Structure 1
């Protein structure tokens, strides 16, 4: 890796990296072909629900841009994939703890008697579902999952099942997507019933939820990618949230902070990945859901720590490589951080906003690869991209959170982890253009850049899993 210039002191406490601009929807060519394993957002923060201040919440969202009305087949996850959340608690850029999610989809084969002949129905439901989690007699497709905690290396570490705190069961039910108000008249109650108190191996209790939620990322997406076809100095809340009518699938886990740290360093790093089998063969005679036969070893195809790293930092030739890579090998991508192209693109589009002229960009490197010294940098750190959190910094209640996080003095927010209400777009636009640099090397550094779309913590729930009830397919 090229030499990295790091900044320290008070200024370092305010640094944010170029890579954390937004959310990773369709960020690389290959992943667009397999949306079920496309990670869209990753959150990690001290739980701010009342009475849960000793816990850390981990949220990995997958399967982007879900239209609520997308029947008759909705948004199941991939039975043949593995979804994982990794924790590095000693700064060496390798996972020390992995939480692995495996899914099973069962087609029940609901039939109707048609003139004495049993005939399979064409839908995933044959009547009302809920409000209880066991009120599923009319549900034709069931999703269940298991969660395994793996110590040390995810390939050959010690694996133990997370179980229900009261049932001791290793199997958990995923609620069906929000088909509509006639099928699921009280969806919020039905879905919330799928929040489980769980026993975490070699630790204590935690909570678990997997299911559809309303898309949590807020951005003026279309205009942003149309060469920033908006006013970057316009009013906040002056532009629409392009994703306001979409849903997403959430994997949420709440774990005691002491279970995630190594006992001597309060800083942890984390990222989420998805892996699939190397071989996929189209089945010429599929039965039920076996249209594709999978085989071979697993290979990682999705990776997400800080959001939008792959979309707006990594160059087009290396996007698929980044998704397949491990943090310990991030030296191969260092030039994209030390010599970023996004500020130059902004200058091309808006000549009155010149890009910073200081290189290498040590102000970006600090958070992007090491964590900020004095805020969330591990005691011993190998430069690598991931989301980092200082678990000793107390959570801030939703009503008191500042959407601009650390640069506004709220050090419990981004880039010290990431909460749902942190406005990472506006923060990052300002930092990438040099808000933390001297004026002579960053003439536009003090401009209040924004995408115009507003977000704050009060747009979300104040209790686990924090992301709100998904939009219904009907009425729509």
Structure 2
């Protein structure tokens, strides 16, 4: 597959019908069913065999959106360590010491980061041989001596050809929420853990309620084969570890100019060293290796077959276009054939150049793809060298798209163009959009038979209106008595 070449063009008005077509074709192939079962495959939760065995460094979801209350900034949210049952003590859910937790931004379309924000954690465990408790009393503040297990981080800004810039030298991560008796006001702890950055942004490392919402019985022959198995948010009650960072748009745009260069590509990744094991001890040794990666939701789960999943997690986006097996699964996806077999809906003809555009190049006239509109490709950036552009799987965000005052969960279907795949907001209902557009829905004309979708229209806990936007963690057990 050749790199996409062409001159970048100015932004143009996005046409509702054209972008709906992109969503209909792309989401139908990426957001629904694939091989697997149960809670083992939600967004990017436990998506590949190797990373499923190493949950501390398992990326789950990435969100990128213009901050609704600070519209000169973008908020990036990345989650790790899925399916955290709130009562999972006494060691709960720490970040991995020494691992590199990265959020990467590509402003030129090369598939390589123009800036990386990297969090590296270390642990202070005061329990010793005295107690098994995470905290031995009420924790009202991060500095309380009753908090016995603490984690701190360094946050660096990495740019090619520049020395690493330390933005946070010794930040304190909010702890795992051990319950209301131990931590009566977790919101206060999260506020204390929020750090103002020298560039005008802010960041926090915290536990949060998993923001992704859906009924995972999609994997039982697409909701039972007749849409009868719906209405349960399978992720309700579970927490994740979250890194949120709010950054001025000028820090992310190519040449610092979001007016001329508004589009960025975003992905999260994790690197770790090999562990040398001895009785009761492990020691990191050797070079860092990328073990997890996430851009668009659901790509690794349901586009790639099992035999390619671990390899994809190890690749940088700049290498995607050089992997024929990966590209073939974008151009000739499995899921439409499954949908046809179960529901009798004819699968679109292949090769799927439409999916190539949404997943690998972004949507723009200069991409020379099937959709002659400008939405979210770096080829729209006026100052890039288009000869260096390569197809790469990234979550792309046009930072110039106006903030929707009242975001619609169905996004494109109801005329709201700020949501996925133009970035991703926590409220975007990816699964319901996919169910509708698969059947030919158009803006304002939903398919009545699918009106209820999966019956899960929003997260179980509401999102905050201000940074970091994610909800506070659950503190009650997932398994509640009837």
State TM-score, norm by structure 2. Answer: 0.83
Tell me how far apart the structure 2 counterparts of residues 108 and 347 of structure 1 sit (CA, whole Å).
Answer: 57
Cα shift at 1:106: 0.9
Q: Residues of 1 paired with 2:56 and 2:44: CA distance?
A: 13
| In 1, Cα distance between equivalents of 2:285 and 2:441 | 50
2:142 equivalent to 1:133 = yes
Question: What does residue 424 of structure 2 align with?
Answer: 418
Shift of 1:240: 0.8
The match for 1:81 is 99
Give the corresponding residue for 1:375: 375
Q: Does 1:181 find its partner at 2:180?
A: yes
1:67 corresponding residue in structure 2? 85
Query: Cα offset for 1:459?
Result: 2.5
Q: Tell me if the contact between 1:355 and 1:433 (Cα under 8 Å) persists in the aligned partners.
A: no
8 Å Cα contact 2:30/2:335 also seen in 1:
no
Q: CA deviation at 1:434?
A: 6.4
* Alignment partner, residue 341 of structure 1: 334
Residues 409-446 of structure 1 deviation map (CA, whole Å, 9 limit, x = unaligned): 1111111100000011122344466668xxxxxxx9x9
- How many matched pairs? 428
* Alignment equivalent of 1:91, drawn from 92, 109, 122: 109
Q: Does 1:215 align with 2:210?
A: yes
After TM superposition, the structure 1 = structure 2 runs for residues 352-391 of structure 1, keeping only pairs within 5 Å, are 354-373=345-364, 374-379=374-379, 380=386, 381-391=389-399
Distance 1:449 1:317 in 2: 35
Q: Classify 1:35/1:433 alpha carbon distance in 2 versus 1 (closer, same or farther; 3 Å).
A: farther
Preserved CA contact (<8 Å) 2:236 2:459: no
Which range moves more in the overlay, 75-84 or 59-68? 75-84
Equivalent pair of 2:205/2:241 in contact (CA under 8 Å) = yes
> What SS does structure 1 have at the residue aligned with 2:120?
strand
Cα distance per residue 1:282-337 (max 9 Å; x no partner)? 221x3xxxx32221111101000001110000111100010001111112111111
Provide the C-alpha distance between the structure 1 equivalents of 2:452 and 2:248, rounded to a whole number of angstroms: 37
| 1:395–1:9 Cα change, 3 Å | closer
Partner of 1:124: 134
Pair 1:46–1:79, CA change in 2 (3 A): same
In structure 2, which of residues 228, 235, 244 is the aligned counterpart of residue 243 of structure 1? 235
Which structure has the highest helix share of the two?
2
Structure 1 alignment gaps of length 5 or more: 111-118, 164-169, 437-443
Q: Secondary structure at the residue paired with 1:158?
A: coil
In the alignment, which residue of structure 2 is the partner of 1:13? Answer: 19
| 2:470 counterpart SS class | coil
1:440-463 deviation line (CA, Å, top 9, x unaligned)? xxxx9x966933321279931111
What's the C-alpha RMSD, in Å, of the aligned pairs? 2.6
Match of 1:37 among 57, 64, 80: 57
Q: Does the 8 A contact of 2:211 with 2:459 survive in 1?
A: no
Q: CA–CA distance in 2 between the matches of 1:93 and 1:31?
A: 23
Map 1:256-335 → 2, pairs under 5 A: 256-262=248-254, 263=257, 264-277=260-273, 279-284=274-279, 286=280, 291-331=281-321, 332=323, 333-335=326-328
- Map 1:217-236 to 2 at 5 A: 217-221=212-216, 223-230=217-224
Instruction: Tell me if the contact between 1:27 and 1:310 (Cα under 8 Å) persists in the aligned partners.
Output: yes
Per the alignment, residue 452 of structure 1 pairs with: 455
SS of 2:146's equivalent? coil
Deviations 1:328-378 (A, max 9, x none): 111211111111110111222223xx2323221233222111111211112
- SS at 1:171 equivalent: strand
SS of residue in 1 equivalent to 2:189: helix
Matched position secondary structure for 1:213: strand
Extract unaligned runs of 5+ from structure 2.
5-13, 33-41, 365-373, 380-385
Q: How far does residue 3 in structure 1 lie from its aligned partner after superposition?
A: 9.4
TM-score by length of 1: 0.84
Of 466-475 and 291-300, the range deviating more from structure 2: 466-475
